[in-house]
């Protein structure tokens, strides 16, 4: 299986020993993105809507570096520290996708890296 790492300065640097994304054949596996501003590498401490928008923009730039966009996403996973934020996250998330929407899971977690409230990872397919 052919693998290729994807890295872009337009998304935050990884906070550990992992790639922003990896192509495995025609699938792109994007590591979870959190609300870190890639220009400052600082965590955005705004509302859940502001955090989600930053996360989605980070994903956008990783996909773009790979030559893809949100229409290539086939699966996403959202991690939330508070399920009461579900509808606000959906409101922002839905602005980035069109029908057919990717398959998705949303998981409640007790904590996320850097103390953020939302993390999103995606799997995309290069057709």
* CATH number of the domain within which 68 lies: 3.30.1330.40
Residues paired with residue 46 on neighbouring β-strands, in sequence order? none
Digitized pLDDT (tens) for each residue of the chain, 127 residues in all? 789 999 999 999 888 899 999 999 999 999 999 999 999 999 998 999 999 999 999 999 999 999 999 999 999 999 999 999 999 999 999 999 999 999 999 999 999 999 999 999 999 999 8
Domain membership of residue 100 as a residue range = 3-125
User: What pTM did the predictor assign?
Assistant: 0.95
Using left for φ > 0, alpha for ψ between -120 and 50, and beta otherwise, residue 74 falls in alpha
CA distance linking residue 2 with residue 46, whole number of Å: 39
Backbone φ and ψ for 107, nearest 5 degrees, come out as -125, 130
DSSP string, 14-76: PSSSS-SEEEETTEEEEEEE-SEETTTTEE--S-HHHHHHHHHHHHHHHHHHTT--GGGEEEE
What six digits make up the tokens of 45? 């401490």
Distances (CA, A) of 35 to 3, 13, 24, 75, 115: 27, 12, 26, 20, 10
In total, how many domains does the chain have? Answer: 1
């Amino acid at each position: 299986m052919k693998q290729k790492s994807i890295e872009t300065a337009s998304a935050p640097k990884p906070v550990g020993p992992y790639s922003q994304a990896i192509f495995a054949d025609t699938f792109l596996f994007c590591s979870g993105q959190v609300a870190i501003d890639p220009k400052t590498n600082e965590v955005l401490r705004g509302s859940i809507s502001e955090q989600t928008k930053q996360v989605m923009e980070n994903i956008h730039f990783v996909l773009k570096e790979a030559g893809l966009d949100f229409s290539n996403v086939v699966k996403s996973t959202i991690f939330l520290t508070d399920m009461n934020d579900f509808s606000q996250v959906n409101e922002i998330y839905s602005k980035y996708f069109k029908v057919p929407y990717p398959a998705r899971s949303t998981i409640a977690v007790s904590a996320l890296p850097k103390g953020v409230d939302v993390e999103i990872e995606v799997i995309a397919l290069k057709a």
